[in-house]
Structure 1
Amino acid sequence: MSNLEAFYKVLRFYSVFKGNRHQVGRLLVDAVNYHYKKTAKNFRKMDYYVPLALNYLPRQSNYADDFFQYAVLRRLYETANLQLGKSQVNRETYNDLINQYLV
C-alpha cells in the first residue's frame, strides 16, 4: 500500500504542468496493465484502489506581447533594476523609458 501511495505522489508531482498529464495518464495505464498481468485482477475494482486526482497549474500570463517589448522590459530590469508590467511598457512609452533609464 505504501508503494501505491508513493507512486501516486510521484504522479501528482509530475502532473502539475498540463503538458505532462498525457505522460502521467500513460504511466497510470501501464501500472494498471502491470497489476493485471501479475494478479489477473482488475486494479480499478480492488478494495485498495483509490482514484487518482490530478491538479495542474493554470496557464501563466505572458511576460510581454512581442519581442521588442520583452527586450525593453528585460533591459530595464537588468540595467536600471526597474520592474514594470507589460501594461506600462508599450509603443507610446518605449522612447521615454529608453531615454530616461537606458541612455
Structure 2
Amino acid sequence: MTLDPAIAARLKRDPQGLVPAVVQQYDTGEVLMVAWMNDEALHRTLTTGRATYWSRSRNELWTKGDTSGNVQLVKSAALDCDGDTILLRVDQVGVACHTGDRTCFDAGELPVSGAR
C-alpha cells in the first residue's frame, strides 16, 4: 500500500524525499521532538496510528517505541500551509527523547538578547 495520492500531491519534500515532522503532546501542546518522514513513514503513521519515521543515519524506517517501548499513539496529523512540514499530535507513552528525557528540547534554553 502507498500514501494516498491526494496527500502525496500536497507534500513538498526535500531532495531526499523527506518532510520534517514536529511532534507535539496532544493534550498539553508540549513539543516533544522533530523527526523526518518519507511517503512510506507517513502512510504507516496514518494507517496504523503509531508514529513511524525515516532515520537519516540508519537509512531505514523506524516506528517510535518498537525497541524502547516509548510509543507515540497518533491523535491527529496535519500539514502546514506550504505542505513542507507535518504536525503530529500524539499521546507519548514514556519519554520521547533517545537521551531519556521527556522531550528532545530539555537540553536547556539558549540566551536571547532583548527577550522580555
Query: Which has a greater percent of strand?
Result: 2
Shared fold per TM-score greater than 0.5:
no
**Normalised-by-shorter TM-score class:** under 0.3
> Greater RCO between the two (CA within 8 Å, min separation 6)?
2
Give the TM-score, by structure 2 length: 0.19
Give the TM-score, by structure 1 length: 0.21
